[in-house]
């Protein structure tokens, strides 16, 4: 699986899973745009990955102008966009009756508006090239629900629908779209939830990890950033567009279908 001479744009790539995907794609030969709202972290990442193969792109994925300017900056530098990984995401947990409306809207904006706006911005370039691969970062929560996660589950389910429409519209123009569905991965996004869930549910942090996060897995293991990056590479580098409109769960068997 190689991405030689490809240009990949990854949102939320200054840390966590997005950074892991960026590292894997560079190892596979891709040039990578590190698009993130946290520019200090993005610049540090680019310094580490090498300015010849990586570029930092300032992008709040909920801001249409910022998304369009970021995609244009990538095209200006490297002339094309072959792979979009819409990965930027946050987590906010509350029971529905306490979920602040502003927090709900923020969650849907980052996960759904972000995927829509970045896709909308790259598609004209991919259509002009006659090829492209769009990856949306879903979750096991694209397939099932958990308490406290109404906004996250709603958004992650929504990405399944968006990917299928991109696959239908993009197919005749050489563009494919797929969804990656990881189980729990130890990143800042998950570390933040452990004490929050323990408090809301009235259980220990150890119980949150062992029962809620890993209770359904077959080996009581977290999925790793490297596991997710390998799935991303498979979708990005697959040699034909036969692989489109699909989702792949990587979760140590937490959810099987
Ligand atoms: P993370 O918090 O480690 O990293 C998220 C990155 O997104 C950060 O670099 C942050 O600066 C960036 N970001 C946040 N808001 C942004 C915005 N508006 N515009 C641009 N960038 C923004 O999180 P992570 O765990 O690596 O999660 C990445 C994706 O993977 C998310 O979509 C998340 O829902 C999904 N996911 C994570 C897990 C998990 O267990 N960690 C499981 C399944 C799916």
pLDDT for 18 beyond 90 = yes
Alpha carbons 13 and 142: distance in angstroms, whole number: 21
Widest distance between CA atoms in the chain: 54
Q: Which atom of ligand 1 is found nearest the CA of 111?
A: 32
* Residue of minimum CA distance from atom 36 in ligand 1: 139
pLDDT of residue 250: 98
What confidence tier does 114 reach under pLDDT thresholds 50, 70, 90? very high
What residues does 176 pair with on adjacent strands?
133
Tokens coding 168: 């239908």
pLDDT for 175 beyond 90 = yes
| Catalytic one of 78, 152, 184, 235 | 152
Q: Which atom of ligand 1 is found nearest the CA of 110?
A: 18
Tokens coding 226: 């490297």
The verdict on the CB of residue 70 being under 6 Å from ligand 1 is no
Calculate how far, in angstroms, residue 172's C-alpha sits from the geometric centre of ligand 1. Answer: 31
Percent of the chain with pLDDT over 70: 100
Q: Is 181 left (phi over 0), alpha (psi -120 to 50) or beta?
A: beta
pLDDT for 162 beyond 90 = yes
Q: Which atom of ligand 1 is found nearest the CA of 15?
A: 9
| Mean pLDDT within 204-221 | 96
- The pLDDT mean for the chain works out to 97
Q: Which of 5-9, 96-100, 166-170, 187-191 has the lowest mean pLDDT?
A: 187-191
* Residue of minimum CA distance from atom 23 in ligand 1: 189
The verdict on the CB of residue 11 being under 6 Å from ligand 1 is yes
Exposed/middle/buried for residue 219 (C-beta within 10 Å: 0-12, 13-18, 19+): exposed
Calculate how far, in angstroms, residue 16's C-alpha sits from the geometric centre of ligand 1. Answer: 7
pLDDT of residue 225: 98
Is residue 127 part of the annotated active site? The answer reads no
pLDDT of residue 90: 97
Of the candidates 6, 243, 247, which has an alpha carbon nearest to the alpha carbon of residue 125? 6
Going 118 to 119 to 121 to 125, the CA torsion angle's sign is positive
| Mean pLDDT within 3-28 | 98
pLDDT digits (tens, 9 = 90+) for 43-64: 999 999 999 999 999 999 999 9
What confidence tier does 34 reach under pLDDT thresholds 50, 70, 90? very high
What confidence tier does 1 reach under pLDDT thresholds 50, 70, 90? confident
Calculate how far, in angstroms, residue 248's C-alpha sits from the geometric centre of ligand 1. Answer: 18
| Mean pLDDT within 82-91 | 98
Calculate how far, in angstroms, residue 251's C-alpha sits from the geometric centre of ligand 1. Answer: 17
Instruction: Look at the block and give the residue holding tokens 């896709």.
Output: 119
Show the domains of the chain with their CATH numbers: 7-185+224-250 (3.40.50.720), 186-222 (no CATH)
């Amino acid at each position: 699986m190689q991405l030689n001479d490809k240009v990949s744009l990854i949102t939320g790539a200054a840390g966590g899973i997005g950074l892991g995907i960026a590292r894997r794609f560079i190892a596979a030969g891709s040039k990578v745009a590190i698009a993130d709202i946290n520019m200090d972290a993005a610049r540090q990442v680019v310094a580490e990955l090498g300015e010849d193969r990586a570029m930092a792109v300032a992008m709040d994925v909920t801001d249409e102008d910022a998304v369009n300017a970021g995609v244009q900056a990538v095209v200006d530098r490297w002339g094309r966009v072959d792979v979009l990984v819409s990965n930027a995401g946050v987590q906010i947990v509350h029971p529905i009756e306490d979920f602040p409306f502003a927090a709900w809207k923020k969650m849907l904006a980052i996960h759904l508006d972000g995927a829509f706006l970045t896709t909308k911005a790259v598609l004209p370039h991919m259509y002009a090239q006659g090829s492209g691969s769009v990856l949306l970062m879903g979750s096991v929560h694209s397939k099932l629900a958990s308490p406290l996660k109404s906004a996250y589950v709603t958004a992650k389910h929504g990405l399944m629908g968006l990917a299928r429409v991109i696959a239908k519209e993009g197919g005749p123009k050489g563009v494919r779209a797929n969804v990656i569905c990881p189980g729990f991965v130890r990143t800042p996004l998950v570390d933040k939830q452990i004490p929050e869930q323990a408090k809301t549910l009235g259980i220990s942090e150890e119980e949150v990890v062992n029962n809620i996060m890993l209770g359904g897995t077959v080996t009581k293991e977290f999925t790793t950033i490297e596991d997710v990056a390998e799935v991303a590479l498979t979708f990005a580098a697959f040699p034909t567009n036969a692989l489109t409109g699909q989702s792949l769960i990587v979760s140590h068997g937490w959810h099987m279908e």
